[in-house]
Structure 1
């Protein structure tokens, strides 16, 4: 979206049980035997036996990785894969649209970690990664979150690597028919949607070998409606005090579905040789009907009933808002957006064992497209003869709300046509990737039991074509009814909200009438303005690029092992070298017109890794790791499109005459990180353990928009070009602690022995250097550069990262009954960079703490049939955020002023159905 091998399950008893363990796993090319699969496990069925096996693997492995393992088909412990990831220590998520739509690993999102599918890099269109929620839970065997790297891994980003593993026919002992049918019912949209998944697999003896085939179908669908009451991002002096002055109602509503097919063929002619072919189609479809009502409070004819808390307005009434400026300022839009993604990946590969040498190979083709079509009908109220009662409130309260008095939002006669906006984007990405790996084990050297080496080649293309256009008809006074559209009273939101605003529903066009009549609608606007085209918005060359990137990688690593009395020291050291070459094509905008431009860039990364484990006893061990990782800049940041300012004459005798402009930067380098990890693990029973780990990431080259000297001169004048655009400038540091404990209460009598629990907690201290207005007071974190204070930087918290995250999970598994009750909490976090306003004050959003309770339950009536019921977001607490304003009178920072900004009511989703397996 934009947007393995497993043990055969013994029963369908622990359908939604979770057990998180921090483990180390051996990554390898996609072909891998059961004995090679290592990692932590959040295991879903056969819980105790699986946990015992996972803990044994954890003790032997040489890297730190958290995994979610579905040992029975279709039984990942949440509706969406991304929701399940939230249970892993060090992982935080942001939720919208009835699912976790953004996954952060140790504070950084998917643009800073690599995503792979069965060990191969996978991405969506022109991006470098794929959204985890786009993987159907029914088709997933496991998800591995690598927090330390090794030389044989596909290059992780600075935050790590997330690998999604699918099933293969040899995972099963015989034929397999399994699937699920269930319904999804979001509480806010109240629209029941069908979902289904089906897996078919079999294997046959062929001569002295065997062959297997598997195909898996998945279809998930949901209609969500998130309701938001919020303020615009501005604080104004209003009625003699301070308050946000532009509250809004927003609905994020859409019908979303994800069809998916994956399959595999395996042929094992002998125990020493295996060949496979596998493929994946991943689809994403969304039809969004976003809408907004923006209600200004400024410029009113009069204000009354003002309630103050110091200098901040808590509530009040405005009569005839914007009367100062002619009125007609209340406005909004009705959106009609299509988002479509198709991602295909096909691969062929195999392994060959020749004595102690194992050779594995994999060649894959990935092709992905994303298509966006946004149309927006804008309206405004044609009178300001009304009043607004508004309530801003205090942080931690019920959030802002308002009530409009004096107009009827269901009356079409109060609406004028304000304009029509279109934004179209078609993006694509494809690659060929091939790797060849060698493992030599045993080596015959006692303290070096295994050697690994290999090479990898990737040829990647990324492109984008985009354009937008707006017909501005605000001053025409056209009744909305004159526009050739079908209109309805839009569905209301804010179900269960005791402080719902008014209006919650208003008059607007239907999705179908916008998209089905685009030519007529465009012609209507062309007739009024003489501008635009019936073919849609023209391509904007500034948003258009073509990029080719080739990378050549090679690595070597060695496993080592030493015995010092009763203590054993082992691990792995390695080095990976990666050469990257890019060619970018875009447009240079000069005073003479657009000119095609092409640039080349190249760099080499050397990525060492060292992982060490100390086994003090069979129950206690420690781990230490040092690795270097990097994240390449996004292709959009590499867009070479440049817009140059007019070439003014140089002053007589001037030697430093420059020309300025703005755009992307095709010469960006990767973001680099030096990573340090340590952990201590204690296994107190066969199904119980506790661990604590600490880590630090020192990162260089975070990308920020700054003025920089372009490596090539101005093609028109030969002058030095100084471009405002993305550049590697920021440094950052993330350090943290992760702790967890898990186990079953087997010692309790009778039915109580089915109880289990797990808990984990993560602390993150994440800071980076950001461009900032430097106050005159001494501040150790504020460093002034040339031309201070404008070039100053401030080391402050990285946006969207909570300091604290924890999970508490209660489990019960006995007989045919399985129940999981999971509580997730994340503390408050800053949103986006601080916005500086004229050097006199700064604004920054602050997301408040978030808590969530989810229930999963199932009952196996027979070995073949299980019924299940899930309920997510039981607490149904709205997400809230605030605006934090800091003033700088005389350059000295004041105490922060905090105003409520966003209150978002998200879906609480109920689902239930039947699983079958034969």
Structure 2
């Protein structure tokens, strides 16, 4: 039986769930347009790649707003193993990765904090200090679909100045039948050579003639990975007469101590193993006692455990207990000042050889619960929901600090953008463990981070038929309110155990005259020889592929943590600790309109938002500032302070869609949008780092980001799953939050030498800078190629974005926007038949700025990155499918440089293969 309906009669949630849940049905429904302009529902089969594309296009076509979507191919079968990696296939969407896995999402060139992510309509917190959502926490097996709203409506929660991403899971009565999906797979990591399990299942059923249903899902996965890293801090400017604990160093060997030279602050090599385990549970109950009434309760729990080590082969070229034996100084390309030079080659006798191994472990716990319902009463529909979400992290990272003195050199003369060549002087033995001294244990101990969010909302719809303009009428009135309260706490708890205390526990002789006090650490030094070290690097430079590093685990086998705690000191609070409370009240009203022919439709409305903010943190007493060179630890006493503020905004919005013909439509949208600053920068806290001579201050009085945006789109829907779109857009952002920098003279006590010192520090503090106009366009083309081969097709999209530079202060320089990639594109080719499905995906993102200043004013820039992925599946029968997914097939590396091309970071995560079997009933 067919039911005639027009998509404008659905609200946003109903349309989303209708189209997304169809992925679970054997014969889902689709919209077709009848002669009278009313859309009728027709049955056809939509599972598989082509079906997923078709469902996503339905959401885009019939939504009043600018929406791009990704739908599951089938129950428990999302296109990618990671949700962020799926989202990057959408035009205008780029991602950042953590250990090779998609983590945060950016849209149209703006930072990830500008993207609002909602899980079934409510906010999920994340224990990272930002507002950007960590997509590694949710397994894709539970997800029906993703929607990216690039233009807002009044009922869409504020916060997404670039976009709002909605993550949707299926509800049982919407599915309407018993369904079961299970996946068992193995995950192979190339760098570590390990293969680990990944298992998930999802079950949904209905009872009592479809009036009651539940969905339950469980997921477990493990990754034993190994990241090959080169890390640096940029080019530090040092004066020969004052830099470092050695009073004078003649860097350019010209016989005086009057020159200023830029050189690598430090060079670190590491093969960092890490084990990640994730356990997630999803449960949904739904009760629909009548066609007019619906209730639901949804919950998800997730635990993410990480255990890792970072055994470093580290040289700190700023800490020298000897002399420069050879160097090559060239004109500094960053400053252009002939008085400064850059050391592209530096050989030093007595350089700080900091081969520590730092253990890092943390557990992220996430709980979210939502209870809601709706009721239809004639022309009225009332929906209400309450939700609570809590995210907590408990983190410990302890290092057995060791130090040696090497006669070594770094060399970037051939290519400053390559990994520095590290060489040891003739006769120096880098495998001599007796060269290392222990100087203590330090690091975070059970540091807690907590983020809680509670939402209450009510939405009311009323069908209308009121004449408006000409043959256009107002078809629906929507209004509602939402109250949210959020609290983020970031704690600070640090353990410090002196070298003498550790020596006493180990029974080692302590010598106060060596490295400010130390003991023999040779028995804890281990030779690290990672296989295929930096296999993804294809440059010309040779570097050490095996190295000594302390084994912190071996220390803990001899000395318990309780003993270390008793012998050391635990500091809590201080500049690293803050609390931010945020209460938000929003009300909105929205009117939908359409013409008599159903060709013109849209909505307009206003959202009014009030934000009450209280923040507290610790402010340091600079007179107590001290520095321990051995552990590179900064110490300072501090006191707590608290500040409050409130602000309100009016956010109007307008969305319009017009059918030029049955298959071609034109969209236009205009809106005032807002995003709030990251929670981590809203405290009054300030911290000092003597090692890199920086001051990091937060600012509770920065204003939110506000922008006026305009969107236009021409969309041509053709054939079976064919779509071509071109979408120009403009965002006129009133004010950016920028990292303002100032130079300050700071005095501190050097604990290693026992003297007071004064040096120039750089203060970094967020502040409201000038605004920027952002212009761009998206082009997307999806085309089946059945005329070449049945089941063949492709998807391609390209996004170009440009933005005015932002002025950090009234007289300051104009600087590019951080996080903005001017060009990005995706190309996906797929093929499927009754048995086989193949998809090859290529993703590219331009370079972008991480920081215009960074530690030493030389900036931090991420270079362009591309990745090639493959997925394939083969149906053994209607219920069982074998699959294979290959990620980063060409073994690309992530790299960052400074403003004149000096390599700062290089990360090689290797290839990742996922292979397994999926079953459904």
Same fold (TM over 0.5): yes
CA RMSD of aligned residues (A): 3.7
1:762 aligns with 2:799: yes
Whole-Å Cα distance in 2 between the matches of residues 373 and 640 of structure 1? 25
Gaps of 5+ in 1: 1-22, 527-531, 645-660, 709-722, 772-783, 786-791, 886-897
Shift of 1:407: 4.4
1:453 aligns with 2:482: no
For 1:303-318, what aligned pairs fall within 5 Å after superposition?
303=326
The equivalent position to 2:112 in structure 1, one of 107, 110, 129, is 110
Shift of 1:53: 4.8
Whole-Å Cα distance in 1 between the matches of residues 696 and 134 of structure 2? 30
Is the Cα–Cα contact under 8 Å of residues 25 and 62 in structure 1 kept in the other structure? no
1:269 aligns with 2:289: yes
Is the Cα–Cα contact under 8 Å of residues 27 and 152 in structure 1 kept in the other structure? no
Alignment partner, residue 9 of structure 1: none
Alignment partner, residue 87 of structure 1: 89
Shift of 1:247: 3.3
For 1:757-796, what aligned pairs fall within 5 Å after superposition?
757-771=794-808, 785=810, 792-796=811-815
SS in 2 for 1:154: coil
For 1:239-250, what aligned pairs fall within 5 Å after superposition?
244=264, 246-250=266-270
Alignment partner, residue 4 of structure 1: none
Whole-Å Cα distance in 1 between the matches of residues 701 and 102 of structure 2? 34
Shift of 1:78: 2.2
Shift of 1:238: 5.3
Greater CA drift, 796-805 or 257-266: 796-805
Is the Cα–Cα contact under 8 Å of residues 248 and 292 in structure 1 kept in the other structure? yes
The structure-2 alpha-carbon separation of the partners of 1:169 and 1:454, relative to structure 1 and needing over 3 Å to count, comes to: same
Alignment partner, residue 632 of structure 1: 676
Shift of 1:907: 2.2
For 1:296-307, what aligned pairs fall within 5 Å after superposition?
301-303=324-326
Whole-Å Cα distance in 2 between the matches of residues 31 and 515 of structure 1? 57
For 1:517-536, what aligned pairs fall within 5 Å after superposition?
519=560, 523=564, 526=567, 532-533=568-569
Alignment partner, residue 511 of structure 2: none
The structure-2 alpha-carbon separation of the partners of 1:26 and 1:203, relative to structure 1 and needing over 3 Å to count, comes to: closer
The equivalent position to 2:851 in structure 1, one of 832, 835, 840, is 832
Is the Cα–Cα contact under 8 Å of residues 202 and 214 in structure 1 kept in the other structure? yes
SS in 1 for 2:85: helix
Is the Cα–Cα contact under 8 Å of residues 358 and 398 in structure 2 kept in the other structure? yes
TM-score (normalizing by structure 1):
0.80
Alignment partner, residue 488 of structure 2: 462
Alignment partner, residue 802 of structure 1: 821
Whole-Å Cα distance in 2 between the matches of residues 255 and 548 of structure 1? 34
SS in 1 for 2:474: coil
Is the Cα–Cα contact under 8 Å of residues 21 and 170 in structure 2 kept in the other structure? no
1:495 aligns with 2:535: yes
Is the Cα–Cα contact under 8 Å of residues 431 and 460 in structure 1 kept in the other structure? yes
Whole-Å Cα distance in 2 between the matches of residues 903 and 589 of structure 1? 34
TM-score (normalizing by structure 2):
0.80
Is the Cα–Cα contact under 8 Å of residues 590 and 603 in structure 2 kept in the other structure? yes
The structure-2 alpha-carbon separation of the partners of 1:332 and 1:674, relative to structure 1 and needing over 3 Å to count, comes to: farther
How many residue pairs are counted as aligned between the two chains?
806
Greater CA drift, 70-79 or 239-248: 239-248
For 1:63-74, what aligned pairs fall within 5 Å after superposition?
63-74=65-76
Is the Cα–Cα contact under 8 Å of residues 24 and 65 in structure 1 kept in the other structure? no
Shift of 1:845: 3.1
1:349 aligns with 2:377: no
1:845 aligns with 2:860: yes
Alignment partner, residue 376 of structure 1: 399
Alignment partner, residue 556 of structure 1: 589
Alignment partner, residue 18 of structure 1: none
1:260 aligns with 2:280: yes
Is the Cα–Cα contact under 8 Å of residues 525 and 548 in structure 2 kept in the other structure? no
The equivalent position to 1:728 in structure 2, one of 760, 768, 785, is 768
Greater CA drift, 255-264 or 614-623: 614-623
The equivalent position to 2:604 in structure 1, one of 562, 567, 573, is 573
Is the Cα–Cα contact under 8 Å of residues 91 and 799 in structure 2 kept in the other structure? yes
SS in 2 for 1:335: strand
1:293 aligns with 2:333: no
Whole-Å Cα distance in 1 between the matches of residues 162 and 130 of structure 2? 16
Is the Cα–Cα contact under 8 Å of residues 136 and 220 in structure 1 kept in the other structure? no
Alignment partner, residue 412 of structure 1: 433
Is the Cα–Cα contact under 8 Å of residues 31 and 349 in structure 1 kept in the other structure? no
The structure-2 alpha-carbon separation of the partners of 1:226 and 1:613, relative to structure 1 and needing over 3 Å to count, comes to: same
1:607 aligns with 2:591: no
Alignment partner, residue 895 of structure 1: none
Alignment partner, residue 899 of structure 1: 902
1:744 aligns with 2:746: no
Alignment partner, residue 839 of structure 2: 820
Whole-Å Cα distance in 2 between the matches of residues 736 and 865 of structure 1? 44
SS in 1 for 2:208: strand
For 1:12-411, what aligned pairs fall within 5 Å after superposition?
28=12, 34=18, 45-125=47-127, 127-205=130-208, 210-234=211-235, 244=264, 246-295=266-315, 301-303=324-326, 321-323=347-349, 327-382=350-405, 384=406, 386-388=407-409, 390-394=411-415, 399-404=419-424, 406-411=427-432
1:829-874, Cα deviation, whole Å (9 max, x unpaired): 233113596xxxx522333222211110010010111001111111
Whole-Å Cα distance in 1 between the matches of residues 428 and 90 of structure 2? 50
1:582 aligns with 2:649: no
SS in 2 for 1:694: strand
The equivalent position to 1:683 in structure 2, one of 717, 738, 741, is 717
Whole-Å Cα distance in 1 between the matches of residues 786 and 577 of structure 2? 61
Is the Cα–Cα contact under 8 Å of residues 658 and 667 in structure 2 kept in the other structure? yes
Shift of 1:155: 1.5
1:40-85, Cα deviation, whole Å (9 max, x unpaired): 99x9943445544543443332111222211313322222111112
Greater CA drift, 541-550 or 493-502: 493-502
Shift of 1:556: 0.5
The structure-2 alpha-carbon separation of the partners of 1:263 and 1:409, relative to structure 1 and needing over 3 Å to count, comes to: farther
The structure-2 alpha-carbon separation of the partners of 1:182 and 1:640, relative to structure 1 and needing over 3 Å to count, comes to: same
Whole-Å Cα distance in 1 between the matches of residues 480 and 410 of structure 2? 68
Alignment partner, residue 538 of structure 1: 571
Whole-Å Cα distance in 2 between the matches of residues 834 and 118 of structure 1? 39
Shift of 1:105: 1.6
Whole-Å Cα distance in 2 between the matches of residues 30 and 687 of structure 1? 22
SS in 2 for 1:740: strand
Is the Cα–Cα contact under 8 Å of residues 879 and 920 in structure 2 kept in the other structure? yes
Whole-Å Cα distance in 2 between the matches of residues 637 and 231 of structure 1? 25
1:388-420, Cα deviation, whole Å (9 max, x unpaired): 473453367x54333435444444222222443
The structure-2 alpha-carbon separation of the partners of 1:522 and 1:434, relative to structure 1 and needing over 3 Å to count, comes to: same
Whole-Å Cα distance in 1 between the matches of residues 217 and 12 of structure 2? 24
Shift of 1:127: 4.5
1:476 aligns with 2:506: no
SS in 2 for 1:58: helix
Is the Cα–Cα contact under 8 Å of residues 394 and 900 in structure 1 kept in the other structure? no
1:426 aligns with 2:448: yes
1:300-335, Cα deviation, whole Å (9 max, x unpaired): 5533899999999999976xx433xxx142223211
Shift of 1:365: 1.3
Is the Cα–Cα contact under 8 Å of residues 20 and 145 in structure 2 kept in the other structure? no
1:156-201, Cα deviation, whole Å (9 max, x unpaired): 3222211111122124342122110101111111111111101122
The structure-2 alpha-carbon separation of the partners of 1:314 and 1:910, relative to structure 1 and needing over 3 Å to count, comes to: farther
Alignment partner, residue 667 of structure 2: 623
SS in 2 for 1:133: helix
Gaps of 5+ in 2: 1-6, 24-29, 32-44, 238-250, 255-260, 500-514, 625-636, 689-694, 743-762
